[in-house]
Chains A and B, each alone.
Chain A
Amino acid sequence: MNRLHLYSLAAILAVVGMSLFAYKVYVLSFPVFPKTKAQVWNVEARVSFVAQDKPVKVTMFIPAGTRRFAVLDEHFISSGYGLVVSTEGGNRKAAWSIRKARGRQTVYYQAVIRGVRTKPTRTDVEAPEVVARPFEGPKQEAAKSLLQHVKAKSADTPGMVAGLIQMLNKDPLDDRVDLLLGKKPTSRKRAELAVRLLEAAGVPARLVQGIHLQEEKQQFFRKSELLCWIEYHDNKQWQSCDPIRGKTPVPNDWIAWWRGSGELAELSGGEKLKVTVSVSPKLEEGVASAILRGEISKPLLLRFSLFSLPVNTQAVYRVMLLVPIGAFVLVLLRNIVGIKTFGTFMPVLIALAFRESGLLWGLLLFSVVVTLGLVIRFYLERLKLLVVPRLAAVLIVVVGLMAVLSIVSQNLGLHRGLSVALFPMVILTMTIERMSIVWEERGPTEALISGLGSMLTAALAFVVMNVKYIEHLVFVFPELLLVLLALTLLVGRYSGYRLMDLFRFKALSGGGPT
């Protein structure tokens, strides 16, 4: 309609976006480049339970600082609960209590864990007295024999620990270990057994549970499994040791949460206790300090930034802000290049799924599910079903196929198969349906061209969305989306040839029929 109008709108959007960006970079010193290593993590433990209209007391271990990590900015979020933080036996414990509560209750513990660089100082620790807990019956014999076996092959305590851990993880299991571990050995059971055996051998040992502070690879806030490892006393120091791989000491990014065999949380006066611990690398310290300084000079701008959201929601936006990037790639491919795809935004959703499964594996899964789905769809065609029931039938088959694929790949030892579950199954169903209709109406060539076009678009969108730098930019500077919007508006009025038009009308460029 009015080109000037469009151009000025695009220009205004771009200028606003770029000035906000420049302001944040030059005045508030937000980092333009992501730092390679996160040194700060947000840790959150969410304790939920159902209170039974009685006095409630819930206790939970909370992390204490170590030589490598400091625990800062602790927050205990609970409404109406009294809170006591105490230290017992080297562990810190938070106790929330209330006289009466009913229904679902949730309390939170949040903290910032920051890596500290201190020179390794050596302070000797006295060995505690070992109180061995004897085994019962046949287990006693097994333990004794196992310890003798291990001791005979080692010269010192570290050697013995290593030998013991090797025995505990031997495949197939040694008969004695099998007896001692009991059914379904978990890594926690192994660690507990190692501690008990070490104690039986007179070596002071203890169980440690903690979390893994991952860097780089894991950009998302996600549920964190609790890790289990052991510590034994040797040479006047506590030495840590991974009870699965036998590595001493444990990796630097494992941080102890509490020591001893107790459970993370305990509850009285309620039921259905559930604790989830999540960890996310906190975005660069630069951002945090920029925000701190900003809070004094320009509170409004920062109060309305993504960093003010809870970490959980921040993680969602990390992904969500990439969707416009994917959509823009799609716009370029469709309107400038002229690639055909099934469905308008299907490739972007598939690209999101690729983020979980990885590109090659994702493409493979996509092709397998769509191919099998098509075969079944062609069979259903012969049954002459009405459209909606037929779509539902294809959907059911797609879900089933994904389950089967997961099970098969799991049994083949390919753990990635599990990620298939994140594939958008409704989108897959619609893709299969559309593809089969195009196949029948316009022939296999058209169907395959559009199918490959969709895959290519999804792959390209994935590649672009997966660039860490782009992810960093849109999350720290969401105002750049305004610039993206301006570009999209401009492409929306692009009336030149698409790349594919050139092939389509190639015949018209020559003199005509010959």
Chain B
Amino acid sequence: MFGLIQALRNKGVLAINRRNAEYTLKHNPRALYPLVDDKLLTKQLALANGIAVPELYWVVEVEGQVRDLPRVLGDRSDFVLKPAHGSGGEGILVIAGKANDKYRKTDGLLLTQEELNHHIFNVLSGLYSLGGQPDKVLVEYRVVFDPIFESISYQGVPDIRIIVFLGIPIMSMVRLPTRMSDGKANLHQGAIGAGIDMRSGRTLTAVWKNDFVTEHPDTGNPVTGVRIPNWDSLLTLAARCYEFATLGYMGVDIVLDRNRGPLILELNARPGLNIQIANNCGLLPRLQLAERYHADLPTVAKRVEFAREHFAAGTC
């Protein structure tokens, strides 16, 4: 057992106690949490700072408003329902189309208006919000994902998670939905996580349910060595989020839309640690390096350059 502890230490693996004590508690002031915990607020702030986000159609705040939903949606048949205070991807409902009066989920299941309303009521009463306080429902643009991921994801929207520490992108991975994850891009729900080389934007190792994989379990296509387009602009986008959110340690979730390019989905003040497994690399050495040099990196461009130079694959 002590051998194992030593091995993890040597690799610089960051575990939950240390993440909380030395990173989130130290660098993320509690007062800033509402910015990221309320997705509506995040969206408004991002827009104000010229950062692209999925278009917001409507916000449901009280039960009575559901009556207006069909009118607001008009002839849009695909959209996403999202709790403003949700966490871990819970409570998100993706509607891909309509069939008669029913809504079709991405997995093909049909929902009646009543079932959809029930979901909205659940969200409003705080079922998915942190601490169970009453919540709002965001109705927003459904991302049409870039064809690059078409062959390696099963329904849903693959997203790219970048850990940003003091404005410097540290580590990243792409999360690919599988049949098991029900089209959701969360690792604990069964999505694949593939680490990304910070220099080239190519996918490295991939993990699925704590095992290393090289192919997507549902489509059979290779998940490693996939080159993510516009990698530099993605890193820049992530680094710019620090400018308005000012959280020292955060996770930035980005989607690649076919038409609109990279969009910020949400920010996370307590990003998960599985990204280390996906990259087969510990976070600590990179975090310590960033902490040492961040004062010398005043601009976004410099920070991105620093990341591409120091956090390339093979540096851990």
Q: Do A and B originate from a single complex?
A: yes
Residues of chain A whose beta carbon lies under 8 Å from any beta carbon of chain B: 1, 335, 338, 384, 386-388, 437, 441-442, 446, 493-498, 501-502, 504-509, 512-514
Kindly state the separation between the CA atoms of A211 and B294 in the bound complex, as whole angstroms: 76
Are the CB atoms of A498 and B127 closer together than 8 Å? no
Are the CB atoms of B4 and A509 closer together than 8 Å? yes
Are the CB atoms of B16 and A498 closer together than 8 Å? yes
Are the CB atoms of A387 and B125 closer together than 8 Å? yes
A84 to chain B, nearest CB (A): 61
Are the CB atoms of B280 and A512 closer together than 8 Å? yes
Extra A-B contacts (18), CB below 8 Å, given A495-B22, A498-B17, A509-B11: A338-B16, A384-B114, A386-B122, A437-B127, A496-B17, A497-B8, A497-B13, A501-B13, A501-B16, A502-B5, A504-B277, A505-B15, A507-B207, A507-B211, A509-B4, A509-B7, A513-B212, A514-B212
Q: A386-B125, A437-B127, A507-B207 are in contact. Are A495 and B17 (CB under 8 A)?
A: yes
Partner pick for B8 among A437, A495, A505, A514, CB 8 A cutoff: A505
Partner pick for B121 among A338, A386, A509, A512, CB 8 A cutoff: A386
Are the CB atoms of A508 and B11 closer together than 8 Å? yes
Kindly state the separation between the CA atoms of A513 and B118 in the bound complex, as whole angstroms: 44
| Interface SS, B side | helix
Interface size class of B (residues with CB under 8 A): 35 or more
Closest chain B residue to A506 by CB distance? B4
A18 to chain B, nearest CB (A): 27
Are the CB atoms of A496 and B122 closer together than 8 Å? no
Kindly state the separation between the CA atoms of A501 and B115 in the bound complex, as whole angstroms: 39
Candidate in A441, A506, A512 with the most chain B CB atoms within 10 angstroms: A441
A12 to chain B, nearest CB (A): 21
Are the CB atoms of A512 and B212 closer together than 8 Å? yes
Are the CB atoms of A441 and B90 closer together than 8 Å? yes
Are the CB atoms of B5 and A497 closer together than 8 Å? yes
Residues of A within 8 A of B281 (CB): 508
Closest chain A residue to B1 by CB distance? A502
Kindly state the separation between the CA atoms of A441 and B87 in the bound complex, as whole angstroms: 12
Kindly state the separation between the CA atoms of A160 and B15 in the bound complex, as whole angstroms: 78
Are the CB atoms of B17 and A497 closer together than 8 Å? yes
Q: Is B227's CB within 8 Å of the partner chain A?
A: no
Closest chain A residue to B89 by CB distance? A441
Tell me the B18-40 residues at the A interface (CB within 8 Å): 18, 21-22, 26
Are the CB atoms of A508 and B276 closer together than 8 Å? yes
Residues of chain B whose beta carbon lies under 8 Å from any beta carbon of chain A: 1, 4-5, 7-8, 11, 13, 15-18, 21-22, 26, 90, 114-115, 118, 121-122, 125-127, 188-189, 205, 207, 210-212, 214, 273, 276-277, 280-282
Q: A335-B17, A501-B16, A508-B8 are in contact. Are A388 and B125 (CB under 8 A)?
A: yes
Residues of A within 8 A of B7 (CB): 508-509
A188 to chain B, nearest CB (A): 53
Q: A441-B90, A514-B212 are in contact. Are A509 and B8 (CB under 8 A)?
A: yes
Are the CB atoms of B280 and A442 closer together than 8 Å? no
B212 to chain A, nearest CB (A): 4
Are the CB atoms of B13 and A496 closer together than 8 Å? no
Residues of B within 8 A of A512 (CB): 205, 212, 280
A133 to chain B, nearest CB (A): 69
The 8 closest A-B pairs by CB, nearest first: A513-B212, A509-B7, A495-B18, A387-B125, A501-B15, A384-B118, A495-B21, A512-B280
Partner pick for B18 among A442, A496, A504, A509, CB 8 A cutoff: A496
Pick 23 A–B contacts, CB within 8 A, sort by A: A335-B17, A338-B16, A386-B121, A386-B122, A387-B121, A387-B122, A441-B90, A441-B189, A446-B188, A493-B21, A497-B5, A497-B13, A501-B13, A502-B4, A505-B8, A505-B277, A506-B4, A507-B280, A509-B7, A509-B8, A509-B11, A512-B212, A513-B214
Q: A496-B18, A512-B212, A513-B205 are in contact. Are A505 and B13 (CB under 8 A)?
A: yes
Closest chain B residue to A440 by CB distance? B90
Kindly state the separation between the CA atoms of A507 and B189 in the bound complex, as whole angstroms: 19
B263 to chain A, nearest CB (A): 25
Residues of A within 8 A of B127 (CB): 387, 437
Residues of B within 8 A of A387 (CB): 121-122, 125-127
Residues of A within 8 A of B15 (CB): 496-498, 501, 505
B291 to chain A, nearest CB (A): 15
A58 to chain B, nearest CB (A): 52
Residues of B within 8 A of A335 (CB): 17
Are the CB atoms of B210 and A384 closer together than 8 Å? no
Are the CB atoms of B4 and A508 closer together than 8 Å? no
Residues of A within 8 A of B1 (CB): 502
Kindly state the separation between the CA atoms of A448 and B74 in the bound complex, as whole angstroms: 43
Closest chain B residue to A446 by CB distance? B188
Q: A502-B4, A502-B8 are in contact. Are A508 and B282 (CB under 8 A)?
A: yes
Kindly state the separation between the CA atoms of A335 and B18 in the bound complex, as whole angstroms: 11
Residues of A within 8 A of B276 (CB): 505, 508
Kindly state the separation between the CA atoms of A342 and B122 in the bound complex, as whole angstroms: 20
Kindly state the separation between the CA atoms of A1 and B22 in the bound complex, as whole angstroms: 8
Closest chain B residue to A387 by CB distance? B125
Closest chain A residue to B23 by CB distance? A495
Are the CB atoms of A508 and B21 closer together than 8 Å? no
Residues of B within 8 A of A446 (CB): 188
Residues of A within 8 A of B126 (CB): 387
Kindly state the separation between the CA atoms of A497 and B125 in the bound complex, as whole angstroms: 37
B216 to chain A, nearest CB (A): 15
Are the CB atoms of B4 and A442 closer together than 8 Å? no
B130 to chain A, nearest CB (A): 13
Are the CB atoms of B16 and A507 closer together than 8 Å? no
Partner pick for A507 among B21, B115, B210, CB 8 A cutoff: B210
